[in-house]
């Protein structure tokens, strides 16, 4: 399955809308979008995954790598719209304590 990715630049953050399945096969597509953005180090990243139907550990690893790069530049990663099944992945891995998952944000 393909991954659909839309990016919108706001004043202080990039909004990235992701739809489809995020797994070992599609994660490189999202990485290709995220990598140049977090390397700039100028904005937070808000990942809207409300239309992601499935995510495996590859997706989690991608988010951890993105968070590490953003933190180098004192920026944050927000993972928004995670369904209950995906949010549970963040809970049981402890990643919800490290990044903003389904947190309220100001736009």
Residues of the chain scoring pLDDT < 50: 107
**What local confidence, expressed as pLDDT, does residue 106 receive?**
52
Listed by start position, the domains of the chain span 19-81
**What local confidence, expressed as pLDDT, does residue 18 receive?**
98
CATH number at 19-81: 3.30.750.24
Phi, psi (degrees; rounded to nearest 5) at 82: -65, 130
**What local confidence, expressed as pLDDT, does residue 76 receive?**
93
**What local confidence, expressed as pLDDT, does residue 103 receive?**
75
**What local confidence, expressed as pLDDT, does residue 104 receive?**
65
């Amino acid at each position: 399955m393909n991954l659909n990715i839309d990016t919108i630049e706001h004043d202080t953050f990039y909004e990235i809308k992701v739809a489809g399945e995020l797994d070992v096969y599609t994660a490189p597509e999202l990485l290709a979008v995220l990598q140049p953005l977090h390397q700039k180090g100028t904005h937070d990243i808000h990942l809207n995954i409300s239309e992601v139907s499935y995510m495996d550990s590859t997706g989690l690893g991608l988010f951890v790598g993105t968070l590490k790069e953003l933190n180098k530049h004192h920026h944050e990663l927000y993972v928004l719209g995670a369904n209950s099944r995906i949010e549970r992945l963040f809970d049981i891995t402890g990643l919800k304590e490290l990044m903003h998952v389904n947190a309220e944000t100001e736009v």
